[in-house]
Structure 1
Amino acid sequence: MKNLGIFVLSVVLGLSACKKEDEIGEENELITTVKLNFKNGNETRSFAYKDLDGDGGMAPTVEKINLKPNTSYDLSVEFLDESKTPALNITEEVKEEGDEHLVVITPSSTTIGTYTYADKDVNLLPIGLMGKFTSKSAAAGSLKIQLRHQPPINGKKSKDGTAAPGSDDINIDFQIEVK
């Protein structure tokens, strides 16, 4: 009888641990590199953020974005974990789990440009790995890139097409100049 009680207690604790993990969701991914690829016709301009040792340690490198004014670019975003060999392409995971991720691209001013989503998840909500960035007049400022992890909470989806739910897998400000 005593062994049966221990068994039942073990099962109950095991099930509650699983439920707790589902409520919290998965941990955020380690992202050491973010690449922004701006394509206009045959020209592609790429800019990167790199923090190969992760948080702490050495400061990250962030390339300054330089774009032409009044130009429409196809923009693709790549996320990598280069702390592993070979590097882990997190972009594929974000795409596969598009209903739990949102890339938010925010210029510091609308005079710099605007971003329009081109890709959608299974619920027809934006993912943000691909889109159109249209530069405006000559200006300088920043372009914020956020990867929001928006997993289900208590079995219900949290992603609603806005940046509000979830947490940041990464949040970077690239300096940008349109000239």
Structure 2
Amino acid sequence: MSLFHTRLIILLGLVVTLGSCKKEEPAPEDENELITTVRLKFTENGTTTTQTFEWKDLDGDGGAAPTISAISLRPSRTYKLEVEFLNESVSPAESINSEILEEADEHLVVVTPSASSLFTYTATDKDSRSLPIGLAGTLVTGTASTGTIKVQLRHQPPVNGQPVKNGTVTPGSDDANVTFPLTLVP
């Protein structure tokens, strides 16, 4: 066999070998949840009465404006707060909370006042690394005033197989970011 034929056979062998290598499929993107409703349930310590407030946008971004409950709480009180996220674009409505709890190491609920003197919020639920989840917590109100309460559901999936959730709002993206008007009245 000539040198040309030998080189041609080697070249063809390389082409077949390299061409048959299995390409890795890209990792599926971990998409954000579809959330149409955010429900806040406040129960004042020492009582069994629960007040429920909702932010609801059934048609999603761009359509009709969301409906937003005005929250009215008592000043200088401690409340148990439960946050519920729903997808009501399907029937029956789908609670997103079960998925948040299943993927607790990748989710964080952040509850923020504006002005900062309105309240403090402390999450009472924890993930497997003892970082807050935030679906349940304690909210302590300040003195009589008005402002807003922002509720964010942060989606913080691992990057390159490494966890990024660190208990702060910074990593990840918003699955939900809604603001309610808040009044603290005696």
CA RMSD of aligned residues (A): 1.4
Please name the residue that 1:172 is paired with.
178
Per-residue CA deviation, residues 45-90 of structure 1 (Å, 9 max, x unaligned), is 0000000011111111111100011111000000000001111110
Residue 17 of structure 1 aligns to a residue whose secondary structure is coil
Q: CA deviation at 1:166?
A: 0.2
Opposite residue 159 of structure 1, the aligned amino acid is K
Q: Residue 111 of structure 1: CA displacement?
A: 2.2
Letter aligned with residue 81 of structure 1: N
Q: 1:74 maps to what in 2?
A: 80
Question: Counterparts of 2:100 and 2:59 in 1: how far apart (Å)?
Answer: 22
In structure 1, what is the equivalent of residue 50 of structure 2?
44
Distance 1:83 1:107 in 2: 29
Corresponding residue for residue 109 of structure 1? 115
**Aligned with residue 17 of structure 1, among 22, 26, 32:** 26
Gap runs ≥5 in structure 2: 1-12
Q: 2:167 aligns with which of 157, 161, 164?
A: 161
- Unaligned runs of 5+ residues in structure 1 are none
- Deviation at residue 16 of structure 1 after TM alignment: 4.4
TM-score (norm 1): 0.90
2:30 corresponds, among 11, 26, 51, to 26
Q: How many residues matched?
A: 170
Partners of 1:4 and 1:84 lie apart in 2 by 49
Tell me, in whole angstroms, the C-alpha distance in 2 between the residues paired with 1:84 and 1:6: 45
Q: Which has the larger radius of gyration?
A: 2
CA distance in 2, matches of 1:132, 1:143: 14
Runs of 4+ that moved beyond 3 A: 1-7
Identical aligned residues as a percent: 49
Higher helix proportion (structure 1 or 2): 1
Match of 2:149 in 1: 143
CA distance in 2, matches of 1:137, 1:112: 7
Following TM superposition, by how much is the alpha carbon of 1:7 offset from its aligned partner in structure 2, in angstroms?
Answer: 3.6
